[in-house]
Amino acid sequence: MCPVELDCTLTRFSRRSFLRYSAAASVVASIPILTEAHLAHAQRRRVAKHIPADAVRIDANENPLGPCTGACASISSLIPEGGRYDFDLTEKLVMAFSDIEGLKPEYVMPYAGSSEPLHYTVLAFTSRDKPYVTADPGYEAGMYAAKASGAKVLQVPLTKDYAHDVKAMVAADPNAGVLYICNPNNPTGTITSREDIAYAVANKPAGSMLLIDEAYIHFSDATPSLDLVKADKDVIVLRTFSKLYGMAGVRCGLAIGRPDLLAKLQVYGMNSLPIMAVAAATTSIQDKDLILQRKKINTDIRHETFEWLTANNYKFTPSQSNCFMLDTGRPGKEVLAAMQKKNVYVGRVWPAWPTYIRVTVGTRSDMEKFRIAYKEVISSSTAGLEPLPLPERLRNTPHTHLS
C-alpha cells in the first residue's frame, strides 16, 4: 500500500479525491506556512543572530512549563520505538479526544501543530474572488495563506471591548470564503462571546467557512465551539498542544469539523505524525487536573502582572490568555528593540496599533525581569532606539483595512 493509501485508510479520504485536488495543491506547494514561530523568530533576528541562553523569552506565546510529567514520560518511553511509523498511536489520540469531547472520530484530524490546518483551510476555502476576513489586530498566519491563494484580505478592527466585530466581519463581503475568529484572540488575549459566534454561524455569507481558532481556549473562560461542529455547521475548530499543554516544540494539533470539510484540507498535505508527539498529546488530555492547574498558574501570574501595570498607570488589553497587548505610548518597535538590549524578548507590534507591544505571560521570574526592564525603558529617553527592518517575505501582505 502506498503512503497516500495508508493515510487514506486513516482519514477516509479517497485516492480519487486526492488526484482530483492534487493539481490545485501543487500550485501552492512551495508557499511556506508562516506561523508564530517564524514571526517571533524574525523579530528576534532583528537584534541578534542567536538569542542568548539566559534571555527572557516572552515573545512567542510559548508555555515555559513545557510538556506535563506524564507527557515527558510518554516521550521518553517511545524513544527506542523512534524507528517505526505507528498509525495506532495517532488513532489512539483521535479516539481519546473524541471520547472526551463527545465527537465522532471522523470529525477529528490530527496534525503536527495547528498551523498546517489553519493554512490549509484558508487555501481550501478562499480564492481570488473569495476573500479572507479577519480581525485587526489578529493572528497573522491566515493572511499569509490568503496571499498564497490570491485572496483579498479584509481586516476588521476589534470592537471597543476588544472582541471580534462579528457583525462587521459577516457584512465585510458577500463572497467571503473564510471568516477567521481566534478565541481568545492572539495578540490581545480577549474573548468573543458565544452569542457573537452564534450570530456569525447564522448570518455568514452562503458557502463561507467559519474558522474558529481555539489555540488559547484552555487559559480562558470563553465558551468552546465544538458543539457547532457536532451540529454539522460550516465550522472548523482548531486546537493545538503548543499552548496550555506546553508542546510547541513537540508539535501536535487538531482540526475538528465535518468529514467532508476536513477532506478538503487533506489535499494540501497529509503525513504520518511524530509518534512521540501524538503519544504525549494523548497522555496530556487524559490528565484530568492539568487544564485547571495550568490555567490557574497562568491566571495568577497574569493578574500579578496586571496589578503592577495598573499601579503604574500602564494601559493593556483585558486578556484571559497567556498574552496581552501593552500600550507603550511611543513607537512600539523602539520599545521592543530597547527591551531586547536588556535581554528581555517581547513580542511584536501590529501595524494597526503601532504603540502597542505583545507580551507573553512567562514564569513569575520572567515577569519580574520584564517589569524591571520595562520600567527602565519607559523611563528613559527614546533617543537611539531604532526599529530594525522586517525581512522581505514578511512585508507587503495584501490587505484592506475596514473602519
Which stretches of the chain bind ligand PLP, using CB under 6 A?
Answer: 35-36, 61, 113-115, 118, 139, 182, 186, 213, 215, 240, 242, 248, 253
In three-state form (DSSP H/G/I as H, E/B as E, the rest C), the secondary structure along 160-195 is CCCCCCHHHHHHCCCCCCEEEEECCCCCCCCCCCHH
Contact by Cβ (8 Å): 357, 335: yes
CB of 243 to ligand PLP, least distance (A): 7
Decide whether 18 or 139 has the Cβ nearer to ligand PLP.
Answer: 139
CB of 311 to ligand PLP, least distance (A): 29
Distance between CA atoms of 143 and 399, rounded to whole angstroms? Answer: 8
CB of 353 to ligand PLP, least distance (A): 17
CB of 35 to ligand PLP, least distance (A): 5
Measured from the Cβ of residue 190, the count of other Cβ atoms closer than 10 Å reads 25
Decide whether 186 or 298 has the Cβ nearer to ligand PLP.
Answer: 186
Q: What's the start-to-end Cα distance of the chain, in Å?
A: 54
CB of 186 to ligand PLP, least distance (A): 4
CB of 211 to ligand PLP, least distance (A): 10
Distance between CA atoms of 138 and 334, rounded to whole angstroms? Answer: 21
Decide whether 172 or 215 has the Cβ nearer to ligand PLP.
Answer: 215
Decide whether 242 or 305 has the Cβ nearer to ligand PLP.
Answer: 242
Beta bridge partner(s), residue 108: 256
CB of 41 to ligand PLP, least distance (A): 12
178: cell is 473564510
CB of 141 to ligand PLP, least distance (A): 6
Decide whether 35 or 340 has the Cβ nearer to ligand PLP.
Answer: 35
184: cell is 481568545
Decide whether 114 or 126 has the Cβ nearer to ligand PLP.
Answer: 114
Angle between helices 115-125 and 141-149 (to 10 degrees): 40
Decide whether 36 or 101 has the Cβ nearer to ligand PLP.
Answer: 36
Distance between CA atoms of 110 and 273, rounded to whole angstroms? Answer: 8
Decide whether 36 or 165 has the Cβ nearer to ligand PLP.
Answer: 36
CB of 142 to ligand PLP, least distance (A): 9
Helix (H) or strand (E) holding 157, with range, is strand 153-157
Angle between helices 364-379 and 290-311 (to 10 degrees): 20
Contact by Cβ (8 Å): 223, 195: no
Decide whether 185 or 305 has the Cβ nearer to ligand PLP.
Answer: 185
Please, what's the b/e burial string for 272-283 (b: 16 or more CB within 10 A of its CB; e: otherwise)? bbbbbbbbbbbb
The burial class, CB within 10 Å (0-12 / 13-18 / 19+), for 127 is middle
Distance between CA atoms of 354 and 333, rounded to whole angstroms? Answer: 8
